[in-house]
Structure 1
């Protein structure tokens, strides 16, 4: 088997996923692009495993074992990633990645007291 065919396909998949991560604004599409990049890595691992097993008569198939670990990690990553996206969507009403830059809480609001509590500051009494 020629190693060039799966390697070129893997590079194309990885570049497509990289473009999706850098250009997309929707968090779900970014997660899909990361999955595409992981699938490109899996394709490379299996292709090199087949190539090494033909050349050196390797019977361990370590590339296929690493691919199984990568699939398990990708499944956990997509589960946690979707949970985070759903939590952000419920809190902010959007899943745009650009809106997540200001996730830090700012100082006290206009109705908060000087100590940052939820009670407003006392108003001074007018002089009579």
Structure 2
């Protein structure tokens, strides 16, 4: 589920960069620098979910993750 979000963020970043160059403005480039930050946050959250699942269940099996409710 994080791959489509990552693709959308990269597309928005590319648009910011292109419009920044065409309008000769630095604001688009500063917004484009936030995209890698968001990608790092997204990866950290995903890794934290896997670590917590491993600590609680002792294994990371996809079939056992399906029964998580809450």
TM-score (norm. length: structure 2)? 0.69
Of 54, 59, 62, the residue aligned with 1:94 is: 62
Structure 2: distance between partners of 1:65 and 1:73: 13
1:42 aligns with 2:13: yes
Task: Give the number of aligned pairs.
Answer: 66
- 5+ residue gaps, structure 1, are 1-29, 105-128
Structure 1: distance between partners of 2:64 and 2:8: 21
Structure (1 or 2) with the greater helix fraction: 2
- TM-align CA RMSD: 2.6
Contact 1:46 1:63 in 2 (8 A): yes
- Deviation of residue 96 (structure 1)? 8.8
Structure 1: distance between partners of 2:42 and 2:64: 19
